[in-house]
Structure 1
């Protein structure tokens, strides 16, 4: 066991394993509230006698809440600290997911869904800060664990909620069981705190606050803006595929079961993507080339759906799945293109909140284009354009340099802050 006072937390092999377990469990908690609803949406709709607009609102809530609540994550982090903010994340998700499976009213169900999504949105922003502070010398490991766990947290509820519902003949069990994941995350997080292994973001007492140079607003960083656009455009791809891809295949003449399987193929890409994309970004393995390749793959997938959708349907799904590697790459950029912990937090909030605005708008735009054009030609060309822009912004976001460099005002002579302890240092 070693002590590192500059981090304000204890480290060691056992504690590092526990810290990684906490990261994995919290990250796995950030998707089930959204991904578990789709498989039992018809049962929920029937139980509450929902109108079409109410069902549509439920499916649109993740993007909307992620966009809105992501902006409050940094103020929450400053107010209650890293430990308190992630406790809040786990508690909100546990209460929201667990209690919504028990209520009898539509408004209560929707309100508790918002509670869970609010916790998820805060965790989305703050976990990259935890990766930066708790694994300062192994951010590659932390970023990979984060992105892979996000994929697992989306995949398993999508696969297992319907079978669990069928086994118990009760959709409430199928939804409510996923409250166990954030509950376990909360217990692990509290144990880590009791072992004094949760980082403190406070500056060491000997540091004068004015030692660090003032920072410009995050929007003034062109890199942060490109990262936000890249994140948003890849989110449009993901949410359009989740919402519309099976219908595109079905309208082309594919069997409904096979059409659903194509979406499964796409979502499975999140697992290898979660492993590989952070390596590309954190180790600087031709990052711009790979980010452009993700976009090009998505373009080819959409063109295949446009021109010959039923000739090689699985090929188009595989291409779109590889294009989905852009999501873990976008998350890895947040930690890979920032140094200072405060900048990581601000960048994470800005990139994700701005990006999820596009994520909420994208599926609505595709639905509107579908209604206006009465076919998939115009919407698919729209998605070709979205993917092309994703490649351009990804190329720019992955360029050398950091957000920190662009936020230091002229005349500070390159002073920045050490990401591991808040100590000022020279570049």
Structure 2
């Protein structure tokens, strides 16, 4: 068992496995509050006698809260530190998810949902910082665990909430059971702290070597701006698909059950994508080529739905699923295209907060276009254009170099080699 000289945290095989388990459990906690609601939304509507605007607000909350709270995550991290920040994130999720299942008023239900989403939003931004700082030499492994677990945290609640609610004959059980995951994450995180295996971020790696990290605002970096646009455009794709793909298939004349199967195919893409996309980015395996192929695949999927939706419908779903590899790739870019952990934190906050603004707007735009045009042609052409732009920004975001280098002052650029940590495009 060793102690890192740079960050003063204990390491070792057992502690590394515990840290990896913490990443997996926290990442699995960052989606269920959102993905478990849809399967029992009808029951929630009936229980609280919701108006249409109230239902619409509940479904729009994830993107809105992720965007708003993402901006405060870095100041929150600086003030509380890594351990207390993620502790607070997990605690908010536990309280929000666990308590909302037992309340009787809609306002309290919505407020507790916001509480859980706020915790998820903080975790979205801060967990990549832990990934980067705790596994500096094995970031690819930790990033893969992070992205795969995010996919699992989205998929399992979406699939299992309704069966659990049906088995117990109570929708509240179907929602409340997902508080178990962040509870386990909370316990594991505390144990990891007691084992003194969580990095202290009082000093970054650069400061430990006598260099001062860049202080210019993150949007000065072109790479960070392209990453934010890429993240936002892929988020538009994801949220539109989750909300509208089954209806697109049903409006084309496909059986509702089969339409649900098509959405299952689309969402399942997050699992292999979570394994493969971080490896592509972190190991530099033709990253720009693959980022463009994700966009091309999404374009083909939308064109199939537009032109021949009932001909080989599973093929269009598979194309959209491969296009969904863009999400874990976008997350991997945050750690793969930054060096200093303070820059990772700032980039994560900027990319995700900006991106989720688009994620909140995209489904509303598609709904508006559908209402104005009276059919799916205009909305699907809109999504083709979104996917093309996703390919362009992905190509630019995946270029060699790091955000750190673009933020560096002229003095830092002239510093001896090794002072800034090197490039991410290996």
**Under a length normalisation based on structure 2, what TM-score does the superposition of the two structures give?**
0.97
Question: Partners of 2:335 and 2:205 in 1: how far apart?
Answer: 26
Alpha-carbon distance, 1:413 to partner: 3.5
Q: Spell out, residue by residue over 1:283-324, the C-alpha distance to the aligned partner (whole angstroms, 9 max, x if none).
A: 000000000000000000000000000011000000000000
Alpha-carbon distance, 1:209 to partner: 11
Question: Partners of 1:367 and 1:425 in 2: how far apart?
Answer: 46
Question: Partners of 1:3 and 1:56 in 2: how far apart?
Answer: 50
> In the alignment, is residue 291 of structure 1 matched against residue 298 of structure 2?
no
Question: Partners of 1:281 and 1:45 in 2: how far apart?
Answer: 42
In structure 2, the partner of 1:87 is: 87
Question: Where in structure 2 are the equivalents of 1:363-374 lying within 5 Å?
Answer: 363-374=363-374
Alpha-carbon distance, 1:3 to partner: 1.7
Question: Partners of 1:371 and 1:163 in 2: how far apart?
Answer: 33
Question: Partners of 1:334 and 1:425 in 2: how far apart?
Answer: 17
Question: Where in structure 2 are the equivalents of 1:240-255 lying within 5 Å?
Answer: 240-255=240-255
In structure 2, the partner of 1:193 is: 193
Greater CA drift, 407-416 or 385-394:
407-416
CA contact (8 A) 1:414 1:426 kept: no
In structure 2, the partner of 1:4 is: 4
Structure 1 counterpart SS, 2:215: coil
In structure 2, the partner of 1:319 is: 319
CA contact (8 A) 1:415 1:426 kept: no
In structure 1, the partner of 2:170 is: 170
Question: Partners of 1:62 and 1:225 in 2: how far apart?
Answer: 22
Question: Where in structure 2 are the equivalents of 1:267-346 lying within 5 Å?
Answer: 267-346=267-346
CA contact (8 A) 2:99 2:176 kept: yes
In structure 2, the partner of 1:129 is: 129
CA contact (8 A) 1:224 1:397 kept: yes
CA contact (8 A) 2:237 2:387 kept: yes
In structure 2, the partner of 1:96 is: 96
CA contact (8 A) 1:212 1:416 kept: no
Q: Spell out, residue by residue over 1:175-197, the C-alpha distance to the aligned partner (whole angstroms, 9 max, x if none).
A: 00000100000000000000000
**Runs of 4+ with >3 A deviation:** 204-211, 413-418, 424-427
Structure 1's unaligned 5+ residue stretches are 419-423
CA contact (8 A) 1:212 1:415 kept: no
Question: Partners of 1:57 and 1:220 in 2: how far apart?
Answer: 34
Between Structure 1 and Structure 2, how many residues are aligned? 422
CA contact (8 A) 2:22 2:189 kept: yes
Alpha-carbon distance, 1:5 to partner: 2.8
Alpha-carbon distance, 1:213 to partner: 5.0
In structure 2, the partner of 1:382 is: 382
Relative to structure 1, is the Cα distance of residues 213 and 202 closer, same or farther in structure 2, using a 3 angstrom cutoff?
closer
In structure 2, the partner of 1:28 is: 28
Question: Where in structure 2 are the equivalents of 1:43-82 lying within 5 Å?
Answer: 43-82=43-82
Question: Partners of 2:399 and 2:142 in 1: how far apart?
Answer: 22
Greater CA drift, 206-215 or 290-299:
206-215
Structure 1 counterpart SS, 2:410: coil
Q: Spell out, residue by residue over 1:148-168, the C-alpha distance to the aligned partner (whole angstroms, 9 max, x if none).
A: 000000000011100100111
Alpha-carbon distance, 1:372 to partner: 0.3
Question: Partners of 1:49 and 1:397 in 2: how far apart?
Answer: 46
Relative to structure 1, is the Cα distance of residues 369 and 196 closer, same or farther in structure 2, using a 3 angstrom cutoff?
same
Structure 2's unaligned 5+ residue stretches are none
CA contact (8 A) 2:207 2:213 kept: no
Relative to structure 1, is the Cα distance of residues 367 and 425 closer, same or farther in structure 2, using a 3 angstrom cutoff?
closer
Question: Partners of 1:205 and 1:378 in 2: how far apart?
Answer: 50
CA contact (8 A) 1:269 1:322 kept: yes
Alpha-carbon distance, 1:226 to partner: 0.2
CA contact (8 A) 2:299 2:387 kept: yes
CA contact (8 A) 2:125 2:349 kept: yes
CA contact (8 A) 1:266 1:320 kept: yes
**Under a length normalisation based on structure 1, what TM-score does the superposition of the two structures give?**
0.96
Output the aligned Cα RMSD. 1.7
